[in-house]
Amino acid sequence: MSSHWIIGPGAIGRLLAHSLSPVAAVTLVGRRELAERQTLTSPVGEPHTQRLNGVTLEQLLRDAPAPPAFVHITTKAMSAQAALESLAGVISPTTPIVLWQNGFLAQPRITQAWPGPVLCATTTEGAYVNGEACVVHAGRGHTFIGDLNNRHAELAKNLALQLTHAGLAATPVEDIRRRLWQKLAVNAAVNPLVARYRIRNGQLRDRPFRLYVEAVIEEVAGILDKEGIAPPSGAGLEGWRTLVWQVVENTANNRASMFQDVLAGRPTERAAILGPLIDNAKRHQLPCEQLVALDQALENIEAQLS
């Protein structure tokens, strides 16, 4: 039986823990104690309660159990590095790490710094936490797994098989970098605007927001073209426009994650989503006024929240 540590008992962490627990040895690690009996509500609204093996970081460091086959980091992007560092005393530097973050901040940094294999997962599964003891699996999706330097294909295949067996459909891929950027492009066009204007995704189709989205897509398309990242279908600006508007259509009723963070008074993942685009725009001397303005607006919003 394979063993998995999952660091970050939030929405994705608990979804993983619930799914893997019946087929693998799972330890769910958090900063605080977690209720032992946890409920997963399925996408069709069926609750399923089970005991999850939850421990605090403190307990883990004290007990120093045998290191696992995989360490999943399921914190938000800005906390991933700190979460990994907090395990330094209990895992060997060759332990495989799996990063589940959106954006492109934690992935290159940890890939460069961690001596062992670093897999990246990008997922369209949707989940949210509903209190201390419940997570809602809001929508089924698909997970793609690979590593940025394509050196761990067998490991990615092994993990994808285990996740699929656990009910989370997953595919190992050789182009995870491209897929992470494609998701980042959608997140950059949707999340900052809906968080700034406190609207649901579908309202982006209306004026004046539609024009703002178009302006962001134009900047993003220029930057990703220079980075050699193509949209999943179509080409250039048109391909990116098709992708973004399709996601807006499919998620019209959603409150996007960044909007939810603002509503809950939490910091957003702006540094992981807008940051890499702005950095690349500056490096290539490309326009990024819209992205910078959104980043600034979010920084101001976050400052007022704290």
Ligand X SMILES: NC(=O)C1=CN([C@@H]2O[C@H](COP(=O)(O)OP(=O)(O)OC[C@H]3O[C@@H](n4cnc5c(N)ncnc54)[C@H](OP(=O)(O)O)[C@@H]3O)[C@@H](O)[C@H]2O)C=CC1
Binding residues (CB under 6 A) for ligand X: these are 7-13, 30-32, 74-77, 79, 82-83, 86, 100-102, 123, 125-127, 129, 257, 269
Q: Given the complex with ligand X, which of 138 and 230 has the nearer CB atom?
A: 138
Q: Which stretch binds ligand KPL (CB under 6 A): 34-42, 57-65, 136-144, 184-192?
A: 184-192
Q: Which stretch binds ligand KPL (CB under 6 A): 220-228, 248-256, 284-292, 295-303?
A: 248-256
101 near ligand KPL (CB under 6 A)? no
290 binds, among ligand KPL, ligand X, none (CB under 5 to 8 A by kind): none
Tell which one of 41, 111, 158, 187 touches ligand KPL (CB under 6 A): 187
Q: Given the complex with ligand KPL, which of 90 and 262 has the nearer CB atom?
A: 262
Give the Å distances, CA to CA, from 242 to 186, 203, 220: 10, 17, 13
Q: Given the complex with ligand X, which of 10 and 202 has the nearer CB atom?
A: 10
Distance, in Å, from the CA atom of 214 to the CA atom of 63, rounded to the nearest integer, reads: 53
Question: Minimum Å distance from CB 42 to ligand X?
Answer: 14
Q: Given the complex with ligand KPL, which of 162 and 254 has the nearer CB atom?
A: 254
77 binds, among ligand KPL, ligand X, none (CB under 5 to 8 A by kind): ligand X
222 binds, among ligand X, ligand KPL, none (CB under 5 to 8 A by kind): none
Which amino acid, residue 95? T
Contact 258, 195 (CB under 8 A): yes
Question: Minimum Å distance from CB 118 to ligand KPL?
Answer: 22
Tokens standing for residue 73: 């980091």
Phi, psi of 137 (to 5 degrees): -85, 95
Closest CA to 284 of 224, 236, 199: 224
Q: Cα 55 vs. chain centroid, distance in angstroms?
A: 22
Q: Given the complex with ligand X, which of 140 and 210 has the nearer CB atom?
A: 140
Bridge-partner residues for 6, per DSSP? 28, 72
Distance, in Å, from the CA atom of 189 to the CA atom of 274, rounded to the nearest integer, reads: 10
Question: Minimum Å distance from CB 7 to ligand X?
Answer: 5
Tell which one of 119, 247, 274, 294 touches ligand KPL (CB under 6 A): 247
Q: Taking the CA atoms of the chain, what radius of gyration do you get in angstroms?
A: 19
190 near ligand KPL (CB under 6 A)? yes
Which amino acid, residue 209? F
127 binds, among ligand KPL, ligand X, none (CB under 5 to 8 A by kind): ligand X
Give the Å distances, CA to CA, from 23 to 54, 66, 123, 125: 16, 19, 20, 19
223 binds, among ligand X, ligand KPL, none (CB under 5 to 8 A by kind): none
Phi, psi of 138 (to 5 degrees): -75, -35
Residues 30, 32, 38, 41: is their CA dihedral positive or negative? negative
Bridge-partner residues for 55, per DSSP? 29
Closest CA to 188 of 274, 262, 257: 274
256 near ligand KPL (CB under 6 A)? yes
Q: Which residues form the interface with ligand KPL (CB under 6 A)?
A: 186-187, 190-191, 201, 247, 251, 254, 256-257
